[in-house]
């Protein structure tokens, strides 16, 4: 088993008055390490990497490494410009990250060759393992199996973070098997989209790159460990018990606003911890979130 | 007539070895001023604003103001984070820009309230006129007439840059009239999407925010002046003569790669002038572009 398996927890990077709340961030990281997650991915989408300056990002990776103890830390390095990505990679290396996570951010749409060259350039210039971050909801770039395959052949590519899988177990297995067939064996496949995690893990994904795991690690570990011991039914049941939470992710337009509201509700992050212009949930939406948190016993 | 009418030309910001090619950029700006465009928008999408650092952007606006003479300069100030937008606005003010152009960039999707608050905050903190930049192909944010109306009521909003209009003249007029009906009279409506410019201007748009005008200003002025004197037929005919160019924009996945290849072909920008990971057109595509440039007499 490589470190690119199991539960990788994605903490928020809480802001207060438009600056990183270092104490809150370190608290989230320590909480994840104490819970026993398999890795911590700082500066994922949930960690608002795209909104932060180079200096803020370098500092956040250092805080993550300091707070994580023996838990491996991966760092998001995506940026619109290749030279900026390379700068973030250098900073992640210097801070002690054990891998980097790279999404092909877009402003102008990118071609497949553009994205391949981005990964080729980055892997050529670092010894750190690179996780391919496929997140079309934020990047608006769509990978194909062919492109997965070309990129996964590059030295240093170690894992692919895929979007959600079909809910039906057989379809999920077909989906993961099709990706598995085109990437080398040493490259792990990690599911994201928390509502699909149980299905993805039971369908053959070796890892879960998890939003909810960054704030509510016990919940995510329960699903992960059930799937890892082959108990697909229990993993599915544990995930199904969280349906009200997954439904809020959909209803309120994505996971980050909901998970930020949960962290704020639990006192893990200051109020309005997302970078503006993201205002976060309305008061009425926050009350709904609090009700779900209490009903599911997530506030313990 | 305000300065937010007529042809606003969007120059490239050419890079060489991952740094702004200041000489090439200043050359483009001087060429636009000499051609008699009505305004120059530095750091539009064509100007790669989203890829540049704060320092590069501040420098580019200064160069534009220096090179533009009496021609008004507008500056793109969009960024993912509100505080970064405000910093760019301050820099544009200091550099002598006469207005700013603001698109709601997204990584996480934005709500209408998020975008309204972004424009409210920016207009509250600057005396410069603000142009609303609606460019869903790059921002993946979709404005509605209601949101146009709310934002256009803010003090300081002076123009809206809309995407293309329907090709049919009657439908184009209905489209522009519907927007006109919900925004105050002093707010001009400017069309973008160069292939739609003749249709948009003849349908009631007061301005054309133009990619092609930033590199081939005579061509764009011919269309603009015909439309402004009420000669819709000649504007349409001038645009139709450029069909092979508009077709390349579509076929090669957007205007920026094509216009960069044209500027490079004409010696106005160094080879590979776009920021990586944008590699620009392939050699075969560049040959096609060169053929069209020569066939249309654009290389004179």
B105 contact A CB<8A: yes
Contact A107 B138 (CB under 8 A): yes
Average pLDDT for residues B231-254, to the nearest whole number? Answer: 96
Q: Parallel, antiparallel, or unpaired for β B188-191 and B130-133?
A: unpaired
Q: Searching chain A, which residue's CA lies closest to the CA of residue B17?
A: A83
CB neighbour list of residue B241: distance below 8 Å, 6 or more residues apart: B296
**Full domain range(s) for residue B144:** 6-229
* B220 occurs within a structural domain: yes
pLDDT at B149: 98
Tokens matching residue B54: 């704060």
Contact A81 B140 (CB under 8 A): no
Size of interface A-B (CB pairs under 8 A): 87
- Find the CB nearest A81 among B51, B113, B121: B51
- Find the CB nearest B83 among A18, A45, A278: A18
A121 contact B CB<8A: yes
Tokens matching residue B211: 């990619």
- Taking residue B45's Cβ as centre, other Cβ atoms within 10 Å add up to 26
Q: What is the largest CA-CA distance in chain B?
A: 49
ipTM over cut 0.90:
yes
- Find the CB nearest B80 among A51, A83, A117: A51
Place of tokens 């052949």: A153
For chain A, 300 residues long, give each residue's pLDDT as a single digit of tens.
Answer: 689 999 999 999 999 999 999 999 999 999 999 999 999 999 999 999 999 999 999 999 999 999 999 999 999 999 999 999 999 999 999 999 999 999 999 999 999 999 999 999 999 999 999 999 999 999 999 999 999 999 999 999 999 999 989 989 999 999 999 999 999 999 999 999 999 999 999 999 999 999 999 999 999 999 999 999 999 999 999 999 999 999 999 999 889 999 999 999 999 999 999 999 999 999 999 999 999 999 999 986
CA angle (B159, B165, B171) in 5-degree steps: 120
Helix (H) or strand (E) holding B157: strand B157-162
- Tell me which chain A residues have a C-beta less than 8 angstroms from the C-beta of B51: 80-81, 107
* B248 occurs within a structural domain: no
Tokens matching residue B7: 């042809």
- Taking residue B139's Cβ as centre, other Cβ atoms within 10 Å add up to 21
- Find the CB nearest A254 among B52, B81, B108: B108
How far apart CA A295 and CA A140 sit, in angstroms, is: 35
pLDDT at A254: 86
What are the angstrom distances between the C-alpha of A220 and each of A98, A169, A175, A217, A252? 22, 19, 22, 5, 21
- Find the CB nearest A138 among B107, B138, B277: B107
* A75 occurs within a structural domain: yes
CA angle (A141, A145, A148) in 5-degree steps: 70
Q: Say if residues A112 and A147 touch (Cβ distance below 8 Å).
A: yes
- Find the CB nearest B277 among A18, A117, A140: A117
Q: Tell me the β-bridge partners of B259.
A: none
Q: Parallel, antiparallel, or unpaired for β B188-191 and B207-210?
A: parallel
Give the number of domains in chain A: 1
- Find the CB nearest B253 among A109, A276, A279: A109
Helix (H) or strand (E) holding B51: none
B70 contact A CB<8A: no
- Burial state string for B249-263 with b = 16 or more CB within 10 A and e = fewer than 16: beebeebbbbbbbbb
* A292 occurs within a structural domain: no
Taking only Cα atoms into account, the Rg of chain B, rounded to an integer number of angstroms, comes to: 18
- Tell me which chain B residues have a C-beta less than 8 angstroms from the C-beta of A52: 81
- Closest Cα partner for B276 from B16, B2, B62? B16
Q: Say if residues B45 and B12 touch (Cβ distance below 8 Å).
A: no
How far apart CA A114 and CA B202 sit, in angstroms, is: 38
* B290 occurs within a structural domain: no
How far apart CA B145 and CA A105 sit, in angstroms, is: 29
pLDDT per position as a tens digit, B8-24? 999 999 999 999 999 99
- Tell me which chain A residues have a C-beta less than 8 angstroms from the C-beta of B283: none
pLDDT at A1: 64
- Closest Cα partner for A161 from A143, A181, A184, A182? A143
Tokens matching residue A164: 């959600």
Place of tokens 């008004």: B72
Q: Searching chain A, which residue's CA lies closest to the CA of residue B257?
A: A108
A199 contact B CB<8A: no
A13 contact B CB<8A: no
What are the angstrom distances between the C-alpha of A276 and each of A56, A110, A222, A280? 15, 26, 33, 9
H-assigned helices in B158-281? 169-180, 197-202, 217-228, 232-241, 243-251, 255-265
CB-side exposure of B299: number of CA atoms within 13 Å? 13
- Closest Cα partner for B298 from B241, B219, B226, B187? B219
DSSP B9: E
B127 contact A CB<8A: no
Percent of chain B with pLDDT over 90: 97
Q: What is the dihedral of CA B102, B105, B110, B115, to 10 degrees?
A: -10
Tokens matching residue A177: 């098997």
- Tell me which chain B residues have a C-beta less than 8 angstroms from the C-beta of A51: 80-81, 107
Q: Searching chain B, which residue's CA lies closest to the CA of residue A257?
A: B108
* A178 occurs within a structural domain: yes
pLDDT band, very low/low/confident/very high, at B299 (cuts 50, 70, 90): confident
Judged by DSSP in three states, B132 sits in: strand
How far apart CA A281 and CA A261 sit, in angstroms, is: 7
pLDDT per position as a tens digit, A191-240? 999 999 999 999 999 999 999 999 999 999 999 999 999 999 999 999 99
* B26 occurs within a structural domain: yes
How far apart CA B62 and CA B66 sit, in angstroms, is: 6
Q: How far away is chain A from the Cα of B256, in angstroms, using its nearest Cα?
A: 8
CB neighbour list of residue A178: distance below 8 Å, 6 or more residues apart: A145
Q: Parallel, antiparallel, or unpaired for β A99-102 and A130-133?
A: parallel
How far apart CA A279 and CA A11 sit, in angstroms, is: 18
A233 contact B CB<8A: no
pLDDT at B253: 86
How far apart CA A192 and CA A200 sit, in angstroms, is: 8
Tokens matching residue A130: 């690179």
- Say which CATH number the domain at B59 has: 3.20.20.70
Contact B45 A108 (CB under 8 A): yes
Helix (H) or strand (E) holding A191: strand A188-191
* B280 occurs within a structural domain: no
pLDDT at A300: 66
- Closest Cα partner for B91 from B49, B139, B133? B49
> Which DSSP string do the residues of B52-91 spell out, in sequence order?
S-HHHHHHHHHHHHHHHTTS-EEEE---SSHHHHHHHHHH
pLDDT at A111: 97
B51 contact A CB<8A: yes
Contact B81 A137 (CB under 8 A): no
Helix (H) or strand (E) holding B40: strand B39-42
How far apart CA B260 and CA A212 sit, in angstroms, is: 43
pLDDT at B1: 64
């Amino acid at each position: 088993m490589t470190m690119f398996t199991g539960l990788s927890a994605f903490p928020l990077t809480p802001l207060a008055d438009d600056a990183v709340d270092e104490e809150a961030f370190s608290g989230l990281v320590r909480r994840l390490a104490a819970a026993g997650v398999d890795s911590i991915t700082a500066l994922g989408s949930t960690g608002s990497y795209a909104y932060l300056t180079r200096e803020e990002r370098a500092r956040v990776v250092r805080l993550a490494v300091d707070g994580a103890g023996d838990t491996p830390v991966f760092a998001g390095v995506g940026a619109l410009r290749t030279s900026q990505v390379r700068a973030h990679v250098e900073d992640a290396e210097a801070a002690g990250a054990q891998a980097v996570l790279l999404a092909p951010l877009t402003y102008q749409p990118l071609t497949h060759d553009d994205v391949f060259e981005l990964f080729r350039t980055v892997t050529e210039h670092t010894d750190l393992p690179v996780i391919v971050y496929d997140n079309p909801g934020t990047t608006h770039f769509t990978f194909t199996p062919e492109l997965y395959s070309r990129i996964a052949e590059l030295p240093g590519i170690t894992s692919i973070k895929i979007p959600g899988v079909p809910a039906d177990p057989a379809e999920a297995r077909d989906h993961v098997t099709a990706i598995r067939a085109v990437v080398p064996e040493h490259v792990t496949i990690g599911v994201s989209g928390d509502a699909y995690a149980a299905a993805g893990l039971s369908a053959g994904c070796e890892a879960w790159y998890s939003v909810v795991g960054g704030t509510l690690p016990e919940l995510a570990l329960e699903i992960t460990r059930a799937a890892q011991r082959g108990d697909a039914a229990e993993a599915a049941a544990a995930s199904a018990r969280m349906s009200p939470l997954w439904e809020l992710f959909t209803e309120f337009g994505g996971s980050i606003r909901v998970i930020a509201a949960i962290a704020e509700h639990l006192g893990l992050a200051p109020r309005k911890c997302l970078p503006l212009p993201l205002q976060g949930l309305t008061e009425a939406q926050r009350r709904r979130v609090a009700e779900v948190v209490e009903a599911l016993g997530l506030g313990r």
